[in-house]
Structure 1
Amino acid sequence: MANRSRQLYQPRRNNSSSSYSSYSDSTQSKIPKACNQNSNSSSIIYSNKTSSSSSKTGEFTSRIENSNHTDGDQDPPNLIGTCPFMCPVGERERRERLRDLAVFERLHGNPAKTSPALAVKKFSRTISSKDMKASDVRPVPVLEETLNYLLDLLHSSDHPFDVVHDFIFDRTRSIRQDLSMQNIVSDQVIRMYERMVKFHIISYHHLHRSSQTPNTASMSHLNLEQLMKALTTLFSLYEVNRASHSASPNEAEFFSLYLLLHLSPDNQVEPLSLWFRRIPSSVMESRAMSFARRILRYYRLGNYKRFISTTEEEASYLQYCIVEPYISEVRKLAVSCISYGGYKLQPYPVEHLSKILMMKSFQESDVEAFSVDCALETSDDGTGKGLVSTKQAVINKTSKEHNKYYELDSSRIERLCAELPAL
């Protein structure tokens, strides 16, 4: 890996313009002005959230049309990066001196030595486009190459997942920071954000399934936080793109993922009814959004049977990654309903319960273990078949962060999880 050769991006400038000749005129015309060039935020704010959708569209269109003009001292021109490496030379040399190199960046395992093919720019909290040099910012082609390199590491088996996640998490955040400072809106940038959102969702799934130590719990919280920020910026890019009469083919999928992340009312920043009003009709009528809306309805109404069966039949891999943590909660609701509605002198067969909960029928021990997690007593009918006593109060004996997940009895879901989507 250390000897891996990488073709460096060599920027070229026009004599009459500060933009790269490799960028097309159509891409340049889509660069909106930032609301605040000195902002430290990692996302681009394109409009006032309280404005109406029609005024938003007008504002976006105006910014796109005037994006190549500057307003004197008020709005400095957009920063255009010129760094041809994944990590600026100055930062790379400084981190070598400080021995501040991640395990993936060390040349032959040396913590004080790296190379341009290994070092990746770190995220910095104290940074602004006003003080940043163009030589320290990577242009879009270099950022895309860096993202390709990072996502290739995601399924590395040489290191634990939390180590891999921690490295990619920080470096993709730095990519978003460089994109934000340059304020570029294009199909290429949208695809990059979509891929970074996918990374966060896959990490969300892996971290949820891993043993919940304090470290992984913190990682999971931070990952969800950055997932929401990346989605927010992606939706802003979608809206700017639509204002220029262009729509991304993946909008419906990513809007459905946002909705699934808000199944619980506790996770809502604003009422979903207001959020739905801003969604284009073409997205609302899509298959992905139809699935997400039905799952939301089943979850809120407590329809555990439809929730589990619809997830098993229709969920995509990314949708399932988000829904999976809710399945245990819905199963507890199902057990509670069965226990409360059953006849006290007639225990409920574990085999029947496994079918309702879609737990593997040949692993009755899983159903019994799940019943124990719910503080339900189990017994034996004398023939080796388990029974769950009814008229018992269901109590969650484990915290939400330490719930064990019992897999769905579904060959389709197993296949989805085995065949990870391309990033």
Structure 2
Amino acid sequence: MSNSKEGLNDSATAPVGKCEGMCPVDEIKLRECEGLLHTLEIAQGTEKLKRPKADKEKIVKMFSRPAAGRSDPKPKDLRPPEVLHRTVIYLVQSVLPSKQLPWNEVYDFVFDRFRAVRQDMVIQRLMGKRAVDILEIMVRFHIYAAYRLCEESVFNFDKRINEEHCQECLKRLLYLYTTLDSSFSNRAEMESLYLLFNLGNADAIRHALNLPKSLRQSEPLQMAFRVTWAYLQANYVRVVRLVKKLEFLQACAVHQHLISIQRDALRRMSVAYHSKACRYPLDHLGEILGIGSTVSLQAMCQQCGLTVQDGKICFQRGNFKEQEKNSLYPLDFIDSMLSSKSVMDILVKDNG
């Protein structure tokens, strides 16, 4: 393995990319000829042509699934580490904030181009700082997208596939942290995201407990541990209280688990407050469950078979309905963290 901090690859036999553009020249020609340019890649003024032209500053290599019988990519079609990093920064800085298309379509475009970046990395067996920088951005992208698109239908956003790719990026990233002879300033953040994204998972907890003491005692991991312990103790009021203190992306990582946490809290309260005469204030319930929207809270209660009347809930143990599938929705306290941040601020952080 290369000892360079940039770390080109971990094998002398791995190919080294020679393509200096975000997209290989041959692919640009092919996609122009076949009409395979994406709206976000078409040169201005050529949109109405039968075969639009590519904007060389915007076109990005597509993901291509390996096929049987196809020869390995040539070095001229592979992008070296610095070009891959520049491509990722372009996608985050110039494409993700785009208002040209609905954001789920922007996500699809970036998701595909990120896959192509990872593919180039795998073929070249890239290691080192640039590989770490790229994977950190991708992890943040998948977690951010999971929250931003949480209300979309499966036809517009596949939560499961997004989660799978996030896990792949996280696991590869954590492997690089332990393999490379370097320290990375964002490691504590990424380790905490892994623990929170996999809240309650035994393997994730075991991994975190085996980290060096200096990492375990870092603020991001200390907060992640507190959330995890509260979750394992089924102290859901404390879980919500702690999640409100997390950084934005940490809260987004937990978000996918919060709906089931909130529903389980309602189930437990249906037993604890079971009484025909008892009426529990809806606004107080929203506060302890972290649900600021009265409409969302009422809808959740009604889906669980709980009666809501005059701003109060009647808990009846026998009326509670278990839900096979939990629908996700944004939460006010997480949205409030997002309002002051740009996509670039969220996804890109220096790893000095």
The TM-score with structure 2 as length reference comes to: 0.86
Find the partner of 1:371 among 291, 295, 301: 301
User: In the alignment, residue 117 of structure 1 is paired with which amino acid?
Assistant: E
Match of 1:63 in 2: none
> Contact 1:98–1:112 at 8 Å: present in 2 too?
no
CA contact (8 A) 1:332 1:394 kept: no
Distance 1:27 1:251, change over 3 A: closer
Matches within 5 A, 1:252-271: 252-265=188-201, 271=203
Percentage of matched positions with identical amino acids = 28
Change (3 A) 1:324 1:31: same
1:162 to 80, 104, 124: 104
The residue aligned with 2:315 is 390
Q: Is the 8 A contact 2:6 2:129 kept in 1?
A: no
For the 8 Å contact 2:82–2:130, the answer to whether it is kept is: no
Asked if the contact 2:81/2:131 (under 8 Å) is kept, the reply is yes
Q: What SS class does the counterpart of residue 388 from structure 1 fall into?
A: strand
Q: Indicate the residue corresponding to 1:66 in structure 2.
A: none
Q: Partner of 1:132 in structure 2?
A: 73
RMSD: 2.6
Q: Please, which moves more after superposition, 112-121 or 300-309?
A: 112-121
Partner of 2:242: 310
Find the residue that maps to 2:149 and give its secondary structure. Answer: helix
Q: Give the match for residue 233 of structure 1.
A: 172
Q: Which residue in the other structure is 2:232 paired with?
A: 300
Gaps of 5+ in 2: none
Q: State which of 256, 265, 272 in structure 2 corresponds to 1:334.
A: 265
Q: Distance in 2 between matches of 1:79 and 1:130?
A: 13
Relative to 1, partners in 2 of residues 1:365 and 1:227: Cα closer, same or farther, differing over 3 Å? Answer: closer
1:270-298 alpha-carbon deviations (Å, 9 max, x no partner): 73454346533322222211211221222
Aligned pair in 2 of structure 1 residues 359, 306: CA closer, same or farther (>3 Å)? Answer: same
Deviations 1:67-102 (CA, angstroms, capped at 9, x unpaired):
xxx5xxxxxx33111112111111111111111111
Instruction: For residues 166-225 of structure 1, give each alpha carbon's deviation from its aligned partner in whole angstroms, at most 9, with x where no partner exists.
Output: 1101111111111222233222331122112111111111221x33x231353x221111
Q: In the alignment, is the contact (CA less than 8 A) between 1:154 and 1:165 conserved in 2?
A: yes
SS of structure 2 residue aligned to 1:216: coil
Query: Contact 1:377–1:389 at 8 Å: present in 2 too?
Result: yes
Q: Tell me the amino acid that sits aligned with residue 394 of structure 1.
A: F
Per the alignment, do residues 103 and 95 of structure 1 end up closer, same or farther by CA in structure 2, a change over 3 Å counting?
same
* 8 Å CA contact retained: 1:298, 1:306: yes
The separation in 2 between residues aligned to 1:199 and 1:365, in whole angstroms, is 29
Corresponding residue to 1:116 among 31, 40, 56: 56
Determine if contact 2:42/2:52 at 8 Å carries over to the other structure: yes
Amino acid at match of 1:282: S
Give the CA deviation at 1:113: 1.9
Q: Cα deviation per residue 1:365-417 (whole Å; 9 max; x = unaligned)?
A: 4433332122111223xxxxx221122332245732xx253624x4xx44421
Quickly say closer, same or farther: Cα 1:130–1:283, change in 2 above 3 A. Answer: farther
CA displacement, residues 107-138 of structure 1 (integer Å, 9 cap, x when unaligned): 23255421321221111221799822111111
Aligned to 1:80, what secondary structure does the other structure show? coil
Equivalent residues of 1:100, 1:112 under 8 A apart: no
Classify 1:332/1:81 alpha carbon distance in 2 versus 1 (closer, same or farther; 3 Å).
Answer: same
- The amino acid that maps onto 2:312 is L
| Aligned-partner Cα distance in 2 for 1:178–1:195 | 16
Partner of residue 325, structure 2: 399
Question: What is the aligned partner in structure 2 of residue 58 from structure 1?
Answer: none
Contact 2:195 2:205 in 1 (8 A): no
Query: Could you tell me which amino acid in structure 2 is paired with residue 99 of structure 1?
Result: G
Q: Distance in 2 between matches of 1:28 and 1:366?
A: 48
Determine which structure has greater relative contact order: mean sequence separation of CA pairs < 8 Å that are 6+ residues apart, divided by chain length. 2
Q: 1:193 maps to which residue? A: 135
Alpha-carbon spacing, 1:415–1:406, altered in 2? closer, same or farther (3 Å): closer
The aligned runs of 1:176-255 (5 Å cut-off) are: 176-208=118-150, 210-211=151-152, 213-218=153-158, 220-241=159-180, 244=181, 246-255=182-191
Say if 1:89 and 1:406 are closer, same or farther in 2 by CA, change over 3 A: closer
SS in 1 for 2:309: strand
CA distance in 1, matches of 2:79, 2:295: 54
Q: CA deviation at 1:310?
A: 0.5
Aligned to 1:89: 25
The two structures have a TM-score, normalised by structure 1, of: 0.72
Aligned partners of 2:7 and 2:129 also within 8 Å: no
State which structure, 1 or 2, has the greater radius of gyration over its C-alpha atoms: 1
